[in-house]
Amino acid sequence: MSAAVILAEGVEKWFGAAHVLKGCSLSVSRGEVVVICGPSGSGKSTFIKCMNGLEPFQRGRILVEGVSVGEPATDLPKLRARIGMVFQHFELYPHKSVIENITLAPMHVLKRSRGEAEDGARALLRRVGLADKDRAFPSELSGGQQQRVAIARALAMEPVAMLFDEPTSALDPEMISEVLDVIGQLAAEGMTMVVVTHEMGFARAAADRVAFMDAGRVLEDRPTAEFFENPEAGRSKMFLSKILRH
């Protein structure tokens, strides 16, 4: 078994005629936090969705704990059950209460009993600071609260790694920090994670490595300090100067 929890090598993907990933590679070791940044349309969301097989890809390979994602024989539901994912638009189930959102997959995928699943869910809600919202429905929560529930929902599966796909880009500015605090706390506790984000302050504080993508390619993949102090590629310099000016 490889030391990397997630290992992507030369991943290529086409949407019809559009070549959206052009040989992307990334390795994430246990306990590592990797931030992927880059301009919109660079393929970062597509890349992270390839890592748990939500998006198919045509060439290259991705291994999750040594299991190949693209292999037809792979039990994708089983693999995804071990990887948590948080989406840009939360994707809480609107017809289920907060606690039902969190217990749904543990009960139906891990076959936990309702009591066991609810105990776990309450503990997670305390952890993300929403212990009193267990009976609320998603539409009654603010965006920041919804995203924190979504994080608790992903953690309920006790994942070995977490994928965050632009977790704060659909949020009002005043709610961004409450979500980033939760993610940062997870990082500090040693969770393995890949985070697609534009939040460079977060990247600087929490990431071990930063990868920069543009036009379907990973142009840089370096330790955080090096990336910020001395970006190599011209594109990432331009990107950084634009982003940091805000």
The footprint of other proteins (CB under 8 A) covers 49, 52, 54, 76-78, 80-85, 87, 89, 91, 93-95, 104-105, 108-110, 137, 139-140, 150, 153-154, 157, 163
- Rounded to a whole number of angstroms, the minimum distance from the CB of residue 89 to other proteins is 6
Q: Which is nearer to other proteins, 170 or 243 (CB)?
A: 170
Distance, in Å, from the CA atom of 78 to the CA atom of 167, rounded to the nearest integer, reads 24
Closest Cα to residue 42, out of 216, 219, 236?
Answer: 216
- What separation, in Å, do the N-terminal and C-terminal C-alpha atoms of the chain show? 43
Q: Which is nearer to other proteins, 84 or 144 (CB)?
A: 84
- Rounded to a whole number of angstroms, the minimum distance from the CB of residue 223 to other proteins is 29
Q: Which is nearer to other proteins, 117 or 200 (CB)?
A: 117
Distance, in Å, from the CA atom of 56 to the CA atom of 20, rounded to the nearest integer, reads 12
The partner residues of 222 in beta bridges, in order of sequence, read 210
Q: Which is nearer to other proteins, 7 or 85 (CB)?
A: 85
- Rounded to a whole number of angstroms, the minimum distance from the CB of residue 76 to other proteins is 8
Three state DSSP letters for the chain = CCCEEEEEEEEEEEECCEEEEEEEEEEEECCCEEEEECCCCCCHHHHHHHCCCCCCCCEEEEEECCEECCCCCCCHHHHHHCEEEECCCCCCCCCCCHHHHHHHHHHHCCCCCHHHHHHHHHHHHHHCCCHHHCCCCHHHCCHHHHHHHHHHHHHCCCCCEEEEECCCCCCCHHHHHHHHHHHHHHHHCCCEEEEECCCHHHHHHHCCEEEEEECCEEEEEEEHHHHHHCCCCHHHHHHHHHHHHC
- Rounded to a whole number of angstroms, the minimum distance from the CB of residue 75 to other proteins is 9
Token code pair at residue 125 = 């809600």
Q: Which is nearer to other proteins, 40 or 139 (CB)?
A: 139
- Rounded to a whole number of angstroms, the minimum distance from the CB of residue 234 to other proteins is 34
Q: Which is nearer to other proteins, 179 or 210 (CB)?
A: 179
Q: Which is nearer to other proteins, 141 or 206 (CB)?
A: 141
- Rounded to a whole number of angstroms, the minimum distance from the CB of residue 227 to other proteins is 28
- Rounded to a whole number of angstroms, the minimum distance from the CB of residue 163 to other proteins is 8
